[in-house]
Structure 1
Amino acid sequence: MKILLVHNYYQQPGGEDVVFRAEATLLRDAGHDVEEYTVSNMEIGQQGKAGVAARTVWNAAAARTLNRMVRSGQHDIVHFHNTFPLLSPAVYGAARAAGAATVQTLHNYRIVCASALLFRDGHVCESCLGRLPVPAVRHRCYRDSVGASATVAAMQVAHRVLGTYRRDVDAYVALTEFARDKFIQGGLPATRLHVKPNFIDPDPGAGPGGGGYALFVGRLTEEKGVQTLLDAWRRIGTALPLKVLGSGPLVGDVEQAAGSVPGVTYLGQRGREEVMALAARAECLIFPSRWYEGFPMTIVESLAVGLPVIASRIGAMEQLIQDGVNGMHFEPGNADDLVRAVQSFLAGDRPRMRNAARETFVKHYTSAENLRQLMYIYGQARKAGGATE
């Protein structure tokens, strides 16, 4: 199969970039003819605010380029990972007009939420879900800017009115059933919404555990539940030492806690190899996120090494983690309930949970299983687009 993968890289590398590269490798290793078309947000400074705003809504140049690529390459599938902000939804129709079936992976909620998080002012927000995104502009939901938020809202409304999202994308890939339900509420066609999680390759294998510490890995931001984490560890302390990895706006709070709360250590930003080594020896991962999340690679990496996950009971985490089986749940934003969950974990059958965590990965998140699911979705996209198998 001839496949064109399309991605708009962010200025700060993230999980979407990792998945884009991983799927490209997966498809090539399976014998498919894979080409890539990418742009980077590093180019934004060269274009000016007005130019970027216009291209966010409709980038005719990118659409023409993609149309030529597909016609020339005779691609069967064009798989989009991110089109925001430099490509715009105009590229969907361009690819389809050139004869390819189109697939869009929904890594975040941008298509229905200006912030992409469904989170505002410290709590989950669905004010724009299935409605005109006026609240997004009023609350400056994108980059704390009325103008920038209005641009995202204009993109969403324009392509809803034009029918782009319903007509020009043959298959959407939601990362969880929970996310699929939210996108349906937001107006995407249920018949074209498929669920396929992310994966890890190569398989790191089960870790030994026994390190005697809990682990937090992620952006140090409000929506990631960092304050909940620190508040809980002021009570847990050395009963289960905590290692914190990551960077972000709340780094000062974490550094202060590391200097004053017994058992808390801040290790800063570390490379993936070191993160995986720490995860392999940890007792559990703490995942206190206060927003719905997409599909956290940190959780999948933890399950891969057999690391149980203590996660907030919200959004994707409620489906990825089974309470008392491969981890524990606690109420999001509730430090007292996080303390309870950690204490229950310490008193429970931890070897059994480690085995269950590893079994979850083997059953759902290997490269072989992911390829099988991806091929099925490509087949459905080609049927929706009128192509033959």
Structure 2
Amino acid sequence: MHVLVVHNRYRSAQPSGEDRVVDQEVALLAEAGHRVSRFERRSDDIAGMSLPQKAAVPLRVPWNPAVRAELAALLRRQRPDVVHIHSTFPLLSPSVVAACGDARVPAVATLHNYQMVCPTGTLYRAGRICTDCCAGALPLPAVRHGCYRGSRLATIPLAVSLAANRRRWWTGVERFFCISAAQRRILVGAGAPAHRLRVKHNFVPDPGTRRRGSGDGLLYLGRLAEEKGVRLLMTAWDQVRARGGLGQPLLLAGAGPLHDELASWASGRDDVRYLGPRTRAECAGLVAGAAAVVAPSVWPEAFGLVVGEAMAAAVPVVAADHGAFVELVEDEVTGLRHRPGDAASLADCLGRIVADPARNAALGAAGRRRYERDLTPQIGLDRLLAGYTAAIAQSATAQPASGGSPGGGRRRSR
């Protein structure tokens, strides 16, 4: 099969699990003998643009006609069997969907977040879960609150793109991969076409090593941001310390906007080790050496790669009881789930996860079994190819693609 992957890569200063998923899927397909081409843009390129070019970037977020023409021409030359769309923000735009229609090549898309119903993709605002933009056709609440970077002006292009292209996405893409059932429920509830949405968890490469012994330290590994529950974890750990501690340190690895605050909080403490950003190999070693991995997100995560990585290494998880974590972490079987946003509940789970080494080992072993059942590369490949095959079959019943501007789509015979 020939697959063309469309993706806008994140800034290198803000490492993204989404970029990693894309790269791993491309490698998986190639290793299985499939031909993979890429059509990409890099957000890093914005820094090198001229001032007029930078000023034009927000205007092209909802629709980039040059990208549409370039991709359509490429598709006509290469004639791939299917196009797999990932992120299109900010340099590609949903015009890539129209390009697939122009060239009459079926498209699938992975929904890595909630950007189809929330301009920022997180369903999180001002310290709480927010679904204000899910109910209506126009995401005006996001503009009113300046949800993107705290700016109404910066939020407008994202809101316009969501409103103008919603129908384009829902009619122009044959199959959507939701990375959790929780994500799919939210999207269907907001009006997404249920028959086009399939759950395909992100796969996790086998680390090749598993935890030996009981491990040392409770590990947070991820972006240092409020929505990831970093502040909640700090509060919970202070409660743990007030109770006498656990005899194990809290390990924190990652980068993000809360770096300075976290570094200041951790400074001079013997029960906290702030490790900063780490390489992928170093992260794998940290996971495999931990007593438990902590995922305290206060927003409803659409997946959570670190949870899958922990299970692959036979390490139990403490996670928030919402979003994808509900289906990934079986409470009292592969880990423990705490009440979302509740520091006391999190502190209690942190204590319980290391209180009994034998039980900790049993939770980790159960997590490894769950990984082998649902999250291996082979399972990921099978589900990926099944989605491609279904999209190609569905496209064969379609009428010729219609042209047009945002909001259009392909009409289908039923």
CA distance in 2, matches of 1:49, 1:129: 30
Give the counterpart of 1:53 among 50, 58, 71. 58
CA distance in 1, matches of 2:160, 2:54: 15
CA distance in 2, matches of 1:208, 1:126: 43
Q: Is the 8 A contact 2:291 2:354 kept in 1?
A: no
Q: Is the 8 A contact 2:319 2:325 kept in 1?
A: yes
Give how far 1:29 is off.
0.9
Correspondence 1:317-332 to 2 at 5 A: 317-332=325-340
CA distance in 1, matches of 2:397, 2:69: 22
Give how far 1:130 is off.
3.1
**What's the secondary structure of 2:324's corresponding residue?**
helix
Q: Is the 8 A contact 1:165 1:188 kept in 2?
A: no
CA distance in 1, matches of 2:233, 2:223: 13
User: 2:363 corresponds to which letter in structure 1?
Assistant: M
Give the counterpart of 1:92 among 80, 93, 97. 97
Give the counterpart of 1:372 among 382, 389, 397. 382
Correspondence 1:298-337 to 2 at 5 A: 298-337=306-345
Q: Is the 8 A contact 1:209 1:280 kept in 2?
A: no
CA distance in 1, matches of 2:276, 2:252: 7
Give the counterpart of 1:189 among 180, 190, 193. 193
Find the counterpart in structure 2 of residue 26 from structure 1: 28
Please say if 1:147 is aligned against 2:153. yes
Find the counterpart in structure 1 of residue 402 from structure 2: none
The Cα RMSD (Å) is 1.6
Find the counterpart in structure 1 of residue 230 from structure 2: 226
Give the counterpart of 2:282 among 262, 265, 274. 274
Find the counterpart in structure 2 of residue 340 from structure 1: 348
Find the counterpart in structure 2 of residue 82 from structure 1: 87
Give how far 1:202 is off.
4.4
CA distance in 1, matches of 2:259, 2:79: 48
CA distance in 2, matches of 1:247, 1:109: 22
Find the counterpart in structure 2 of residue 2 from structure 1: 2
**What's the secondary structure of 2:346's corresponding residue?**
helix
Give the counterpart of 2:292 among 284, 291, 302. 284
CA distance in 1, matches of 2:227, 2:29: 34
- Per-residue CA distance 1:232-271 (angstroms, 9 max, x = gap): 1113234132111112222233223323544111111111
Runs of 5+ consecutive residues of structure 1 not aligned to the other structure: none
- Per-residue CA distance 1:275-334 (angstroms, 9 max, x = gap): 111111111001111001122111111111011110111111111111101110111221
Please say if 1:63 is aligned against 2:68. yes
Find the counterpart in structure 2 of residue 38 from structure 1: 40
User: 2:384 corresponds to which letter in structure 1?
Assistant: L
Give the counterpart of 2:177 among 132, 154, 173. 173
Give how far 1:86 is off.
1.0
Please say if 1:121 is aligned against 2:126. yes
CA distance in 2, matches of 1:90, 1:253: 40
Give how far 1:43 is off.
2.5
Q: Could you state the TM-score of these two structures normalised by the residue count of structure 2?
A: 0.90
User: 2:142 corresponds to which letter in structure 1?
Assistant: A
CA distance in 2, matches of 1:186, 1:80: 21
Give how far 1:73 is off.
0.6
Deviates further, 248-257 or 376-385:
248-257
Q: Is the 8 A contact 2:6 2:87 kept in 1?
A: yes
Deviates further, 251-260 or 100-109:
251-260
CA distance in 2, matches of 1:13, 1:138: 29
Q: Is the 8 A contact 1:233 1:261 kept in 2?
A: no
**What's the secondary structure of 1:57's corresponding residue?**
coil
Correspondence 1:193-272 to 2 at 5 A: 193-237=197-241, 238-239=245-246, 240-272=248-280
CA distance in 2, matches of 1:359, 1:202: 12
**What's the secondary structure of 2:214's corresponding residue?**
coil
Find the counterpart in structure 1 of residue 373 from structure 2: 363
Please say if 1:104 is aligned against 2:109. yes
- Per-residue CA distance 1:129-162 (angstroms, 9 max, x = gap): 03120000000011211112111111111113xx
Give how far 1:209 is off.
4.2
CA distance in 2, matches of 1:274, 1:344: 27
Give how far 1:387 is off.
6.8
CA distance in 2, matches of 1:141, 1:384: 37
**What's the secondary structure of 1:70's corresponding residue?**
helix
Runs of 5+ consecutive residues of structure 2 not aligned to the other structure: 399-414
Give how far 1:381 is off.
0.9
CA distance in 2, matches of 1:273, 1:203: 9
CA distance in 2, matches of 1:204, 1:175: 24
Q: Could you state the TM-score of these two structures normalised by the residue count of structure 1?
A: 0.95
